[in-house]
Amino acid sequence: MVPGEMIRLFVAVDLPEEVRRSLVGLCCGVPGGRWVNPEQLHLTLRFIGEVDRALFDRIRVSLSSVVSPPVTLVLNSVGSFPPTGPPRVLWVGFQRSEALVSLRNQIENALVTAGCEAETRHFSPHITLARLKDVPRNLVAPYLAEHAGFSQGPVDVKEFRLYSSLLSRQGSRHIVEATYPLSATGAP
């Protein structure tokens, strides 16, 4: 990073190859959908946004204080957002996991300790499959009906990552900035 430059960050969980492969099977069937690149399918735990070098360094260090056992996730729904009006996002959702919420809360505390502003938005774990623009709800309904029975897992999550995101006209590129293991004992 050059001095004065800002970096766009988020914290996420990556998915095992076999899960991503099953998600790729969901990535078609809505005309006009901009489907996420299969390598970029992930579960965002916290979007941080643009930060400067000093805050970036504090975030990297602070996230290493997160102590959590591995988390088991079950993917169990396919939906769209927002609930009314034209749909903008197609997503896969998860069975509620207290362990995931606890991990997310620890990450939030670590980020606030580092100097980030607290997140006020509700945590709604999902994997974005596609972004939609001007796609009417009646084109999305058959897709949602077709995939209503989707489920995948359990999936063991053994680490989370700090990512940077480079935006360009071709789309975004995600770069792993740090990886944080989850361990039952708290030791790496």
Contact 70, 184 (CB under 8 A): yes
CB 10 → ligand 2AM: shortest distance, Å?
4
Strand runs labelled E in 24-151: 34-35, 42-51, 71-81, 89-94, 126-131
Query: Is 126 annotated in the active site?
Result: yes
In the complex, the residues that contact ligand 2AM under the rule CB under 6 A are 10, 44, 47, 128, 165
In angstroms, give the least distance from the CB of 180 to ligand 2AM.
Answer: 17
Closer residue to ligand 2AM, CB minimum distance, 67 or 105: 105
Is there a catalytic annotation at residue 147? no
Q: What is the DSSP letter of 148?
A: T
Grouping H, G, I as helix, E, B as strand and the rest as coil, residue 166 is strand
How many angstroms separate the CA atoms of 26 and 68, rounded?
A: 31
Judged by beta carbon, residue 47 or residue 156, the one nearer ligand 2AM is: 47
Query: How far is the C-alpha of 136 from the C-alpha of 86, rounded, in Å?
Result: 6
Closer CB to ligand 2AM, 62 or 165, in the complex: 165
Whether the link from the prior residue into 70 is cis, omega within 30° of 0, is: no
> Nearest approach, Cβ of 167 to ligand 2AM (angstroms)?
9
Shortest approach of ligand 2AM to residue 51 CB, angstroms? 14
Q: Which CB, 49 or 154, lies closer to ligand 2AM?
A: 49
Q: Are 135 and 32 in contact (CB under 8 A)?
A: yes
Give the catalytic positions in this structure: 42, 126
